[in-house]
Amino acid sequence: MHDHGNKGADRLDREAKELEREAGRLEETAHSIEEHAHDLERRARELEEEARRERDHGNDDHGNDDHGHDQGGDHDHGHHVKITMVVNGQPVTIKATEQEKLSEVRQRALTETQNLAQPPENWEIKNEAGTVLDPDKRVGHYHFGKEVTLFLSLKAGAAGAAAGR
């Protein structure tokens, strides 16, 4: 009976140590996200200042509309979006065109962060509000603007499916 109690205590000790390790990883992730949030706030202020300068400069142009048709636009200079993908708490910045599919951006983020153990389709793409985005849609479909932060995480059950066998 006493031996059975030791096994239970050992199991609880192992679980406690694993939870402590996980808590440490989560603290590191939280710190990384907080740093990233500060970087985004700083960048937002820079972009606001840049937009203000462009508006001031644009007001000097007398508003002639001979050049910039937004609809058909410069196909050679596709609009770029700076996408920060946070992969399991690790941020990586990807410069993407609006014509690229989110699945292509996801693959680049997984490659750069060396998260290649799971197939790309096991990773969900979410926005800051937690909404799951369709990887088959093009970046331009979502109208992110010049910069956005997205989050990649394994779909529920994807991480444990291989481990449970």
Question: Tens place of pLDDT for every residue, the chain, 165 residues?
Answer: 556 678 889 999 999 999 888 888 888 777 778 777 777 778 878 888 778 887 877 655 444 444 444 444 434 346 899 999 999 889 999 999 999 999 999 999 999 999 889 999 999 999 999 999 999 999 999 999 999 999 999 988 776 554 444
CA distance 129 to 116: 26
What is the pLDDT, as a whole number, of residue 159?
63
pLDDT at 39: 74
Enumerate residues 6+ apart whose C-beta is below 8 A from 101. 135, 136, 137, 138, 139
Q: How far apart are the first and last CA of the chain?
A: 31
The CATH number of the structural domain formed by 79-155 is 3.10.20.90
pLDDT at 73: 41
Which pLDDT score, from 0 to 100, does residue 59 have? Answer: 57
pLDDT at 62: 47
The predicted structure's pLDDT at residue 76: 38
Query: What is the structure's pLDDT at 69?
Result: 40
